[in-house]
Amino acid sequence: MRADLVALLTASVFGHAFLGIPYARPPVDDLRFAPPQPALPFGDIWAPRGKAKKDLPVIIFFYGGAFSAGGTNAPYLIPAEWIQRTQEHIVISFNHRDNIFGYTNAAGQPPDQQNPGLLDARLAIEWVRDNIGSFGGDPTRIGLWGESSGAIIIAYYSYVYRDDPIANSVILDSGNEFIDVLSHDPTHANFTYVASELGCGNLSPTDELACMRQVDASAINDFISTYAAAGHTPPVFFSATVDSTTVFANYTTLAQAGQIARLPALIGSNAQEGVSFLPYDPDSVDQALADQMTAAFFFCPTYQAARARVAAHGGEVPVYRFVYSGNFTNVSPKPWMGAYHGAEMPPVFGTHSLFRGESSELEWATSRAMQDAWVEFVATAGERMVTVEGWDAWREVDGGRVVEFGNGVPARLMDTAEMEEQCRQLGLS
């Protein structure tokens, strides 16, 4: 996968989308599976034309995909409408290495280089810091926003670069460090199996890695995709691994010790996340099981992540929480789907009307409320959230307001005490 800034969309006063900007050298040949190397420096060729606004807040978006797939090309992840409407911020999205290329876990790889995809993220953020001023952005107001595994990447990042996070804030959307989608493969069996199937078997770890660097990248992708589609067992799975450098084993302990960046956080999940992970039935869903999955894999870890950040810094750093509950027919065509995993992306990006029909007025209003909240949060580093009246930051581990988006009204305060008590009873807080 190319390591580039695929869509840097400035406020429409510029009238430009800057596409395909490289932040790293292509990860080919000896750079495959290796840490990223910076691209060549850029000149002023990046200066905006016309009467450009300056010092705009910047949001860097990290897409999801369980560390295995994803990218910036999906039409519903293009923020043109959002930028057009606000005229007051910049959105950046970038491709990074996923699957075996980003989370290699090979025996021949140095222990601190098993997760090059996470290192891609740091290099991209450094590029934005160094160059965004030429596009009208404020390098002191860079917010990191991720969805699903993209949010997990940001959560990990908050511990790794706690003394120099570059960013001024983080938005963790349906993902955080307490959601375990790690690859637990201490014998490096997945990489060795793929290597053996592609002509690199029965080699030493060093030679195995060198051999795999010469295999056509499409052949590697095709083999992994075909294997997964056929439902073979055991599964071949490549995700982030604990290396004590980019991913740690016990985030609760680290948070309790304050070993996390002092970054204001906006943390949330969706009301029906669990339906996305059950077998599809066009007519119905096992609602009880879906609710259990929503709580265990999303709501409770999100609650835990919020409490951990409040406790880490004694309530001195603002933490806000939200739940997305929109159930709009052009995004969720079956009523039981509700606010499934990822359903909030079209409203925030402003692409909901591009799905399966026209958007309702509530949908447009919910979209505007979420967009404004995201921008205000990054612009002020969480110092104020006046887009929703009464939305106060959490300053104590068991106190604070939660805002719900899209449930009958664009935004309102909600009571999550009962759900939080269930989390405590399950030991998930």
Catalytic positions, please?
148, 273, 341
* CB distance 378 to 56 below 8 Å: no
Burial of 416 (0-12, 13-18, 19+ CB in 10 A): middle
Taking residue 353's Cβ as centre, other Cβ atoms within 10 Å add up to: 17
- Residue 184 tokens read as 């637990």
Burial of 218 (0-12, 13-18, 19+ CB in 10 A): exposed
Residue of 183, 202, 180, 182 whose CA lies nearest to 192: 202
Distance CA(388)–CA(104), nearest Å, equals: 43
Cα 199 from chain centroid? 35
Q: Which element (helix H / strand E) includes 403? A: strand 402-405
Taking residue 43's Cβ as centre, other Cβ atoms within 10 Å add up to: 8
Read off the amino acid at residue 15: G
* CB distance 148 to 176 below 8 Å: no
Pairing of strands 411-414, 402-405: antiparallel
- Residue 29 tokens read as 């040949």
Taking residue 367's Cβ as centre, other Cβ atoms within 10 Å add up to: 28
User: What angle is formed at CA 365 by the lines to CA 362 and CA 371, rounded to 5 degrees?
Assistant: 140
Burial pattern 189-213, b for ≥16 Cβ within 10 A else e, equals ebbbebbeebebeebeeeebbebbb
* Dihedral (CA of 310, 311, 312, 314) sign: positive
In degrees to the nearest 10, what's the CA dihedral of 263, 132, 92, 351? 110
End-to-end CA distance of the chain: 37
DSSP string covering 287-345: HHHHHHHHIIIIIHHHHHHHHHHHHHTTT-S-EEEEEE----TTT--SGGG-S-TTTTH
